A and B are shown apart, each in its own frame.
Chain A
Amino acid sequence: MDKPEVYKLPNEANATLPSRNNLPGYVGGVATAVVALIGGLLAFRNGRMNGNNNNTTTPH
Protein backbone atom coordinates (compact mmCIF):
# COMPACT_ATOMS: atom_id res chain seq x y z
CA MET A 1 0.00 0.00 0.00
CA ASP A 2 1.29 3.50 -0.86
CA LYS A 3 2.21 5.84 1.94
CA PRO A 4 0.00 8.93 2.52
CA GLU A 5 2.64 11.34 1.21
CA VAL A 6 2.39 9.72 -2.24
CA TYR A 7 -1.04 11.34 -2.44
CA LYS A 8 0.19 14.56 -0.76
CA LEU A 9 -1.69 13.63 2.37
CA PRO A 10 -0.25 14.09 5.87
CA ASN A 11 1.45 11.21 7.59
CA GLU A 12 1.78 10.46 11.28
CA ALA A 13 4.88 12.62 11.58
CA ASN A 14 3.67 15.86 10.00
CA ALA A 15 -0.11 15.78 10.36
CA THR A 16 -1.48 19.00 11.85
CA LEU A 17 -5.07 20.09 11.99
CA PRO A 18 -6.09 23.69 11.25
CA SER A 19 -8.44 23.41 14.22
CA ARG A 20 -5.35 24.08 16.34
CA ASN A 21 -6.08 27.76 15.52
CA ASN A 22 -9.51 27.68 17.15
CA LEU A 23 -8.68 28.78 20.70
CA PRO A 24 -5.72 31.04 19.76
CA GLY A 25 -7.95 32.71 17.16
CA TYR A 26 -10.55 33.64 19.76
CA VAL A 27 -7.86 34.70 22.24
CA GLY A 28 -6.36 36.97 19.57
CA GLY A 29 -9.78 38.43 18.88
CA VAL A 30 -10.50 39.06 22.57
CA ALA A 31 -7.08 40.67 23.10
CA THR A 32 -7.63 42.94 20.09
CA ALA A 33 -11.12 43.83 21.31
CA VAL A 34 -9.84 44.79 24.76
CA VAL A 35 -7.09 47.00 23.32
CA ALA A 36 -9.50 48.59 20.84
CA LEU A 37 -12.18 49.27 23.46
CA ILE A 38 -9.66 50.87 25.79
CA GLY A 39 -8.34 52.97 22.90
CA GLY A 40 -11.87 53.98 21.93
CA LEU A 41 -12.82 54.96 25.46
CA LEU A 42 -9.61 56.97 25.84
CA ALA A 43 -10.29 58.77 22.56
CA PHE A 44 -13.81 59.74 23.59
CA ARG A 45 -13.12 60.61 27.24
CA ASN A 46 -9.77 62.42 26.81
CA GLY A 47 -10.98 64.19 23.70
CA ARG A 48 -13.94 65.62 25.58
CA MET A 49 -11.85 66.62 28.60
CA ASN A 50 -9.11 68.24 26.50
CA GLY A 51 -11.28 69.51 23.71
CA ASN A 52 -13.86 72.18 23.22
CA ASN A 53 -16.50 72.01 25.91
CA ASN A 54 -18.83 74.36 24.12
CA ASN A 55 -21.80 72.77 22.48
CA THR A 56 -21.00 73.02 18.79
CA THR A 57 -24.11 71.19 17.67
CA THR A 58 -26.01 72.87 14.90
CA PRO A 59 -29.74 72.20 15.16
CA HIS A 60 -31.04 70.26 12.20
Chain B
Amino acid sequence: MPPAEHFASPPQWEWWILGYFFFGGISGGSYALGTLLRFGGDARDVRAANLAFITSFLALIPCPIFLMVDLGQPLSFWHMLVDTSPGGGLAFKPDSPMSLGSWALLAFGLFSFVSFLGAIAEVGWFRVTTGIARILRGGIGLVWNAIGTVFGLFICAYTGVLLAVSNQPVWSDAGWALGGMFLASALAGSTALLLLLARSRRDVDADTGVRLETADRYFVILETILIVVFLVTLAIAGTIGKVLGVWLVLWLVVVIGLAAPLAMLSSGAARRWPPVAAPLLALIGVLALRALVIFSAQL
Protein backbone atom coordinates (compact mmCIF):
# COMPACT_ATOMS: atom_id res chain seq x y z
CA MET B 1 0.00 0.00 0.00
CA PRO B 2 1.42 3.48 -0.87
CA PRO B 3 2.32 5.85 1.97
CA ALA B 4 -0.93 6.80 3.60
CA GLU B 5 -0.43 10.55 3.69
CA HIS B 6 -0.35 10.96 -0.09
CA PHE B 7 -4.04 11.25 -0.74
CA ALA B 8 -4.49 15.02 -1.14
CA SER B 9 -4.63 16.83 -4.46
CA PRO B 10 -1.52 18.76 -5.55
CA PRO B 11 -1.51 22.41 -4.47
CA GLN B 12 -0.84 23.52 -8.07
CA TRP B 13 2.33 25.38 -7.16
CA GLU B 14 3.91 26.19 -10.49
CA TRP B 15 5.95 28.94 -12.18
CA TRP B 16 5.33 31.78 -9.71
CA ILE B 17 6.39 29.56 -6.84
CA LEU B 18 9.41 28.36 -8.79
CA GLY B 19 10.36 32.00 -9.35
CA TYR B 20 9.88 32.79 -5.65
CA PHE B 21 11.97 29.79 -4.54
CA PHE B 22 14.76 30.78 -6.95
CA PHE B 23 14.90 34.52 -6.28
CA GLY B 24 14.26 34.07 -2.54
CA GLY B 25 17.18 31.65 -2.35
CA ILE B 26 19.46 33.97 -4.31
CA SER B 27 18.44 36.92 -2.11
CA GLY B 28 19.00 35.13 1.20
CA GLY B 29 22.19 33.48 -0.02
CA SER B 30 23.61 36.76 -1.34
CA TYR B 31 22.96 38.46 1.98
CA ALA B 32 24.75 35.64 3.82
CA LEU B 33 27.69 35.94 1.40
CA GLY B 34 27.93 39.69 2.01
CA THR B 35 28.02 39.03 5.75
CA LEU B 36 30.62 36.26 5.38
CA LEU B 37 32.80 38.64 3.36
CA ARG B 38 32.48 41.26 6.10
CA PHE B 39 33.21 38.81 8.94
CA GLY B 40 35.83 36.68 7.18
CA GLY B 41 37.41 39.19 4.82
CA ASP B 42 39.18 42.51 5.12
CA ALA B 43 38.96 45.98 3.59
CA ARG B 44 39.65 44.62 0.11
CA ASP B 45 36.47 42.53 0.26
CA VAL B 46 34.18 45.47 0.99
CA ARG B 47 33.33 46.05 -2.67
CA ALA B 48 32.29 42.43 -3.19
CA ALA B 49 30.29 42.53 0.07
CA ASN B 50 28.46 45.67 -1.12
CA LEU B 51 27.74 43.96 -4.43
CA ALA B 52 26.28 41.00 -2.49
CA PHE B 53 23.98 43.24 -0.41
CA ILE B 54 22.79 45.09 -3.53
CA THR B 55 22.14 41.78 -5.29
CA SER B 56 20.26 40.50 -2.25
CA PHE B 57 17.73 43.33 -2.27
CA LEU B 58 17.29 43.40 -6.05
CA ALA B 59 16.63 39.63 -6.04
CA LEU B 60 14.17 40.08 -3.19
CA ILE B 61 11.98 42.61 -5.04
CA PRO B 62 10.13 40.09 -7.25
CA CYS B 63 9.52 37.66 -4.36
CA PRO B 64 6.43 39.24 -2.77
CA ILE B 65 5.09 40.00 -6.24
CA PHE B 66 5.36 36.34 -7.26
CA LEU B 67 3.69 35.23 -4.02
CA MET B 68 0.84 37.73 -4.36
CA VAL B 69 0.17 36.74 -7.97
CA ASP B 70 0.21 33.06 -7.03
CA LEU B 71 -2.42 33.68 -4.34
CA GLY B 72 -4.93 34.43 -7.09
CA GLN B 73 -6.28 37.32 -4.97
CA PRO B 74 -3.24 39.58 -4.74
CA LEU B 75 -4.97 42.20 -2.57
CA SER B 76 -5.59 39.59 0.13
CA PHE B 77 -1.90 38.99 0.74
CA TRP B 78 -1.98 40.81 4.06
CA HIS B 79 -4.25 38.07 5.44
CA MET B 80 -1.02 36.07 5.71
CA LEU B 81 0.09 38.50 8.42
CA VAL B 82 -3.14 39.71 10.01
CA ASP B 83 -5.97 37.54 11.31
CA THR B 84 -9.18 39.23 10.18
CA SER B 85 -11.52 36.95 12.12
CA PRO B 86 -13.32 38.40 15.19
CA GLY B 87 -10.79 38.85 17.98
CA GLY B 88 -8.02 38.28 15.43
CA GLY B 89 -4.69 40.06 15.74
CA LEU B 90 -1.49 39.00 14.06
CA ALA B 91 -1.62 35.76 12.05
CA PHE B 92 1.54 34.22 13.47
CA LYS B 93 1.51 30.41 13.53
CA PRO B 94 4.85 28.90 14.57
CA ASP B 95 3.76 25.42 13.46
CA SER B 96 3.15 26.61 9.89
CA PRO B 97 6.19 27.09 7.62
CA MET B 98 4.01 29.28 5.38
CA SER B 99 3.18 31.63 8.26
CA LEU B 100 6.77 31.69 9.55
CA GLY B 101 7.99 32.27 6.00
CA SER B 102 5.66 35.24 5.51
CA TRP B 103 6.96 36.92 8.66
CA ALA B 104 10.56 36.04 7.88
CA LEU B 105 10.19 37.52 4.40
CA LEU B 106 8.89 40.76 5.94
CA ALA B 107 11.71 40.91 8.50
CA PHE B 108 14.37 39.98 5.97
CA GLY B 109 13.04 42.64 3.62
CA LEU B 110 13.81 45.28 6.26
CA PHE B 111 17.36 44.02 6.85
CA SER B 112 18.05 43.60 3.14
CA PHE B 113 16.67 47.06 2.30
CA VAL B 114 18.72 48.90 4.92
CA SER B 115 21.88 47.01 3.91
CA PHE B 116 21.06 47.87 0.28
CA LEU B 117 20.81 51.57 1.17
CA GLY B 118 24.18 51.40 2.89
CA ALA B 119 25.77 49.49 0.01
CA ILE B 120 24.58 51.86 -2.74
CA ALA B 121 26.03 54.77 -0.77
CA GLU B 122 29.32 52.90 -0.32
CA VAL B 123 29.67 52.28 -4.05
CA GLY B 124 28.75 55.89 -4.81
CA TRP B 125 25.44 55.32 -6.56
CA PHE B 126 23.28 57.21 -4.02
CA ARG B 127 25.03 59.56 -1.64
CA VAL B 128 21.86 60.51 0.28
CA THR B 129 22.12 57.33 2.37
CA THR B 130 25.75 57.86 3.38
CA GLY B 131 24.64 58.18 7.02
CA ILE B 132 23.27 54.64 6.94
CA ALA B 133 26.48 53.41 5.32
CA ARG B 134 28.53 55.05 8.08
CA ILE B 135 26.48 53.34 10.82
CA LEU B 136 26.67 49.94 9.08
CA ARG B 137 30.47 50.16 8.77
CA GLY B 138 31.01 49.56 12.50
CA GLY B 139 30.00 47.00 15.09
CA ILE B 140 26.32 47.89 14.75
CA GLY B 141 26.58 46.95 11.08
CA LEU B 142 28.08 43.57 11.90
CA VAL B 143 25.24 42.82 14.35
CA TRP B 144 22.73 44.03 11.75
CA ASN B 145 24.30 41.78 9.10
CA ALA B 146 24.39 38.78 11.44
CA ILE B 147 20.69 39.07 12.31
CA GLY B 148 19.81 39.69 8.67
CA THR B 149 21.75 36.59 7.70
CA VAL B 150 19.67 34.46 10.08
CA PHE B 151 16.51 35.67 8.33
CA GLY B 152 18.13 35.33 4.91
CA LEU B 153 19.20 31.75 5.47
CA PHE B 154 15.73 31.01 6.85
CA ILE B 155 14.27 32.26 3.55
CA CYS B 156 16.62 29.91 1.69
CA ALA B 157 15.66 26.85 3.75
CA TYR B 158 12.04 27.20 4.84
CA THR B 159 10.76 26.68 1.30
CA GLY B 160 12.10 23.12 1.52
CA VAL B 161 10.43 22.62 4.92
CA LEU B 162 7.20 24.01 3.45
CA LEU B 163 7.28 21.33 0.77
CA ALA B 164 8.26 18.62 3.26
CA VAL B 165 5.16 19.25 5.40
CA SER B 166 2.87 19.23 2.35
CA ASN B 167 0.85 16.15 1.62
CA GLN B 168 2.56 15.10 -1.61
CA PRO B 169 4.87 12.26 -2.61
CA VAL B 170 8.53 13.26 -2.98
CA TRP B 171 8.05 16.36 -0.82
CA SER B 172 6.91 14.70 2.40
CA ASP B 173 9.09 11.65 1.66
CA ALA B 174 12.23 13.78 1.59
CA GLY B 175 11.87 14.55 5.29
CA TRP B 176 14.58 16.78 6.75
CA ALA B 177 16.74 16.84 3.60
CA LEU B 178 14.79 19.36 1.50
CA GLY B 179 15.40 22.44 3.66
CA GLY B 180 19.13 21.85 3.86
CA MET B 181 19.35 20.98 0.17
CA PHE B 182 17.63 24.22 -0.85
CA LEU B 183 19.84 26.22 1.50
CA ALA B 184 23.09 24.74 0.18
CA SER B 185 21.85 25.17 -3.39
CA ALA B 186 20.94 28.81 -2.70
CA LEU B 187 24.40 29.54 -1.31
CA ALA B 188 26.07 27.85 -4.29
CA GLY B 189 23.86 29.81 -6.70
CA SER B 190 24.45 33.11 -4.90
CA THR B 191 28.20 32.58 -4.97
CA ALA B 192 27.99 31.81 -8.69
CA LEU B 193 26.01 35.03 -9.27
CA LEU B 194 28.47 37.11 -7.22
CA LEU B 195 31.36 35.60 -9.20
CA LEU B 196 29.54 36.45 -12.41
CA LEU B 197 29.06 40.06 -11.30
CA ALA B 198 32.56 40.37 -9.83
CA ARG B 199 34.14 39.23 -13.07
CA SER B 200 32.20 41.85 -15.01
CA ARG B 201 33.44 44.65 -12.72
CA ARG B 202 37.03 45.82 -12.55
CA ASP B 203 36.75 47.27 -9.05
CA VAL B 204 36.31 43.93 -7.26
CA ASP B 205 39.52 42.54 -5.81
CA ALA B 206 40.82 39.63 -7.90
CA ASP B 207 41.80 37.70 -4.77
CA THR B 208 38.24 38.01 -3.49
CA GLY B 209 37.13 36.20 -6.64
CA VAL B 210 39.58 33.37 -5.97
CA ARG B 211 38.27 32.92 -2.44
CA LEU B 212 34.68 33.08 -3.66
CA GLU B 213 35.56 30.17 -5.96
CA THR B 214 36.85 28.23 -2.95
CA ALA B 215 33.66 28.95 -0.98
CA ASP B 216 31.61 27.96 -4.03
CA ARG B 217 33.29 24.57 -4.13
CA TYR B 218 32.48 24.00 -0.43
CA PHE B 219 28.83 24.89 -1.03
CA VAL B 220 28.65 22.67 -4.12
CA ILE B 221 30.07 19.71 -2.20
CA LEU B 222 27.53 20.29 0.59
CA GLU B 223 24.71 20.55 -1.94
CA THR B 224 25.83 17.35 -3.68
CA ILE B 225 25.83 15.44 -0.39
CA LEU B 226 22.31 16.65 0.40
CA ILE B 227 21.04 15.79 -3.09
CA VAL B 228 22.32 12.25 -2.55
CA VAL B 229 20.56 12.14 0.84
CA PHE B 230 17.38 13.44 -0.85
CA LEU B 231 17.51 10.69 -3.48
CA VAL B 232 18.24 7.98 -0.89
CA THR B 233 15.24 9.05 1.21
CA LEU B 234 13.04 8.91 -1.88
CA ALA B 235 14.41 5.46 -2.75
CA ILE B 236 13.64 4.22 0.78
CA ALA B 237 10.11 5.68 0.55
CA GLY B 238 9.60 4.05 -2.84
CA THR B 239 8.86 7.28 -4.70
CA ILE B 240 12.17 7.87 -6.46
CA GLY B 241 10.47 7.01 -9.75
CA LYS B 242 8.60 10.33 -9.52
CA VAL B 243 11.84 12.30 -10.00
CA LEU B 244 13.24 10.09 -12.79
CA GLY B 245 11.93 9.50 -16.32
CA VAL B 246 11.45 12.79 -18.12
CA TRP B 247 13.02 14.64 -15.18
CA LEU B 248 16.41 13.12 -16.01
CA VAL B 249 16.86 16.04 -18.43
CA LEU B 250 16.66 18.48 -15.53
CA TRP B 251 18.92 16.27 -13.41
CA LEU B 252 21.49 16.51 -16.20
CA VAL B 253 21.29 20.32 -15.99
CA VAL B 254 21.69 20.09 -12.20
CA VAL B 255 24.74 17.83 -12.51
CA ILE B 256 26.35 20.12 -15.10
CA GLY B 257 25.73 23.09 -12.81
CA LEU B 258 27.35 21.26 -9.89
CA ALA B 259 30.28 20.00 -11.93
CA ALA B 260 31.11 23.27 -13.69
CA PRO B 261 32.86 25.02 -10.75
CA LEU B 262 34.86 21.87 -10.01
CA ALA B 263 35.72 21.34 -13.69
CA MET B 264 37.06 24.90 -13.91
CA LEU B 265 39.55 23.93 -11.23
CA SER B 266 40.70 20.54 -12.49
CA SER B 267 40.06 20.26 -16.23
CA GLY B 268 42.38 21.90 -18.73
CA ALA B 269 39.60 22.13 -21.32
CA ALA B 270 37.19 23.75 -18.83
CA ARG B 271 39.82 26.38 -17.92
CA ARG B 272 39.54 27.67 -21.49
CA TRP B 273 35.80 28.36 -21.04
CA PRO B 274 34.73 32.00 -20.81
CA PRO B 275 34.95 33.10 -17.14
CA VAL B 276 31.19 33.54 -16.94
CA ALA B 277 30.42 30.00 -18.18
CA ALA B 278 30.69 28.12 -14.87
CA PRO B 279 28.66 30.67 -12.83
CA LEU B 280 25.94 30.73 -15.50
CA LEU B 281 25.72 26.93 -15.63
CA ALA B 282 25.59 26.83 -11.82
CA LEU B 283 22.70 29.31 -11.71
CA ILE B 284 20.73 27.37 -14.32
CA GLY B 285 21.38 24.24 -12.25
CA VAL B 286 19.95 25.92 -9.13
CA LEU B 287 16.78 26.78 -11.08
CA ALA B 288 16.56 23.25 -12.53
CA LEU B 289 16.82 21.62 -9.09
CA ARG B 290 13.90 23.63 -7.76
CA ALA B 291 11.87 23.05 -10.94
CA LEU B 292 12.20 19.29 -10.79
CA VAL B 293 11.39 19.12 -7.06
CA ILE B 294 8.32 21.37 -7.45
CA PHE B 295 6.88 19.90 -10.64
CA SER B 296 7.78 16.20 -10.35
CA ALA B 297 5.73 15.75 -7.17
CA GLN B 298 2.59 17.26 -8.69
CA LEU B 299 2.40 15.24 -11.90
* A-to-B contact residues, CB < 8 Å: 5, 8-11, 14-19, 21-22, 24-29, 31-33, 35-37, 39-48, 51-52, 55-60
A8 to B169, CA, bound (A): 14
Residue of B nearest to A25 (CB): B161
* Contact between A28 and B179, CB atoms less than 8 A apart: yes
Instruction: State which residues 210-232 of B face A: CB under 8 Å.
Output: 210-212, 214-215, 218-219, 222, 226
* B-to-A contact residues, CB < 8 Å: 1-5, 7, 32-33, 36-37, 39-42, 44-45, 47, 95, 97, 153-154, 156-158, 160-161, 164-168, 171-172, 174-181, 183-184, 187, 201-207, 210-212, 214-215, 218-219, 222, 226
Known A32-B222, A39-B215; contact A47-B5, beta-carbon cutoff 8 A? no
Point out the residues of chain A lying under 8 angstroms from B177, CB to CB.
28
A18 to B171, CA, bound (A): 9
Number of A-B pairs, beta carbon distance below 8 Å: 156
* Contact between A47 and B210, CB atoms less than 8 A apart: yes
* Contact between B161 and A43, CB atoms less than 8 A apart: no
* Contact between A58 and B4, CB atoms less than 8 A apart: no
A-B contact pairs, 21 of them (CB 8 A): A10-B7, A17-B5, A18-B168, A18-B172, A25-B178, A26-B157, A27-B176, A28-B177, A29-B153, A29-B157, A29-B158, A32-B181, A33-B153, A36-B219, A36-B222, A40-B36, A40-B187, A41-B39, A43-B214, A51-B211, A58-B203
* Contact between B176 and A28, CB atoms less than 8 A apart: yes
CB distance from B115 to the nearest CB of A (A): 17
Point out the residues of chain A lying under 8 angstroms from B214, CB to CB.
43, 46-47
Point out the residues of chain B lying under 8 angstroms from A16, CB to CB.
3-5
* Contact between B210 and A25, CB atoms less than 8 A apart: no
Point out the residues of chain A lying under 8 angstroms from B219, CB to CB.
36, 39-40
Known A5-B1, A51-B211, A60-B203; contact A22-B161, beta-carbon cutoff 8 A? yes
A47 to B42, CA, bound (A): 12
Residue of B nearest to A15 (CB): B4
* Contact between A45 and B202, CB atoms less than 8 A apart: no
